[in-house]
Amino acid sequence: MQHVERRDFLRLAGVAGVTFTAGLFPHRQASAQAGNDFHFVQFSDTHWGYSGPANPDAEHTLEKAVATVNGLPKQPDFIVFTGDLTHTTDDGKERRNRMKRFREIVSALQVKDVRFMPGEHDASLDKGEAFKEFFGDTHYTFDHKGVHFIVLDNVSDPAAKLGDEQLAWLAADLKQRKPDDKIIVFTHRPLFDLKPDWDWTTADGAKAIELLMPYQNVVVFYGHIHQENHHTTGHIEHHAAKSLIFPLPAPGSQPKRTPLPYDAAMPGLGTRDVDVGQKIAVVELPVTKKG
Amino acid sequence: MKRRVLVALLLGSAVGGVVRLEAAEQPGEIKISAKKFEYHPNKVTVKAGQPVVLVLTSEDRIHGFKMPDFGLRTDIVPGQETRVTFTPDKPGNFSFFCDVFCGDGHEDMEGTLVVEA
């Protein structure tokens, strides 16, 4: 593939948006990163199956975002979906229909290394049973170009807990890491108390953060709150992604966490492209590429 | 000890789910029932400094009751009463909500505790 500088390919793709540069891996030496930079794309909260005034375009928004990501001149190494793939339903058969259709739509992604995790809409009513049928485990790890990725499930328990068993699994995994290993965590809900009275938290998320704290190079990417958000607990950064169905208000900006009014230009929706190197660059991608 | 007057004026059915607990020296009981996706009553008024017992029941499935401002949370399990005793020590309006995901509408399942000075 022709080498294209990152800033150039974003410009060429017409998707350059606000870039957030964070101090990811601040304790790593630059030399250790040489030649290992990569990027991935994060989708979140696609809520396939939603129907309502918050997004009259709901049947097409995901397909548009897939097309936009397919149009990136430099395709990501992998793509991750951080939960709420589907909108909830009490009907188990309909839940599976939605997951099936979701899977069909995202199968159009050019990148075939795609990682999934559930949100509460996918997994909280059946403890992840349907999700596992379609997408596999709800928590797991993988490694890519020197980075250890940990996917945490804080939604299969409807009370938004990781649970002691998963926390023990996390502790065992982290024991195999060195203090300066590069670790990226994917999860659906915020692990910290972003807005407890809006239920934007994980009941036992503090225990996970405590386990991660001894490691010097940790960053968390999550969804659930349907908006970009950047937060730090100690040296651990937490970056929330936009949704592809409807934006929610900034924490505490209005009395209730009701969706923001629909805007056909979809400024509050999108995916994000994440460059992983010595530092991290998060570029918010729109649903549809401009002109 | 002589039981003092406990007056809970159940206005719920008349004015859309509002309960007002009048002055009492022993913990006053307020019954709140839960079902998808609402609490009844969804607005409860109490006095600051007066102990309160919330008697929580569910009509359909497990729900949650969480009120972060007072550090309260519990499951509400069908078929049993869940009693939560506390003393609201500050006036204001405080939200409570379901924190056990219960379906499409879960995010709207909430209520307000009004604590009068």
Which ipTM value was assigned to this complex?
A: 0.85
Whether A125 and chain B come into contact, CB under 8 Å, resolves to yes
Backbone angles phi, psi at A96, to 5 degrees: -70, -35
Arch. (CATH architecture) of A6-285: 4-Layer Sandwich (3.60)
Q: Which CATH number fits domain B8-116: 3.30.70.360, 2.60.120.560, 3.10.129.10, 2.60.40.420?
A: 2.60.40.420
Residue of B nearest to A259 (CA): B107
Asked if B68 and A155 come within 8 Å (Cβ–Cβ), the reply is no
Chain A residues whose beta carbon lies within 8 Å of the beta carbon of residue B66: 196, 199
Q: Mean pLDDT, to the nearest integer, of A108-112?
A: 98
What sign has the CA pseudo-torsion A83, A84, A86, A88? positive
A225 alpha carbon, distance to own chain's centre: 11
Q: Report domain extents, chain B.
A: 8-116
Question: For residue range A133-145, what is the model confidence (pLDDT) as tens digits?
Answer: 999 999 999 999 9
Q: Mean pLDDT, to the nearest integer, of B94-114?
A: 95
Q: What's residue B18's pLDDT? A: 66
- pLDDT of A33 above 80: no
Q: What's residue A249's pLDDT? A: 97
Question: For residue range A231-267, what is the model confidence (pLDDT) as tens digits?
Answer: 999 999 999 999 999 999 999 999 889 999 999 999 9
Strand ranges, E, within B4-116: 8-10, 18-21, 28-35, 38-40, 43-47, 52-58, 63-67, 72-76, 82-86, 92-97, 110-116
Q: Mean pLDDT, to the nearest integer, of B80-85?
A: 96
d(CA A174, CA B26): 51
Spatial contact of A242 and A271, defined as CB atoms under 8 Å apart: yes
Q: Report domain extents, chain A.
A: 6-285
Question: For residue range A257-278, what is the model confidence (pLDDT) as tens digits?
Answer: 999 999 999 999 999 999 998 8
Q: Mean pLDDT, to the nearest integer, of B59-72?
A: 96
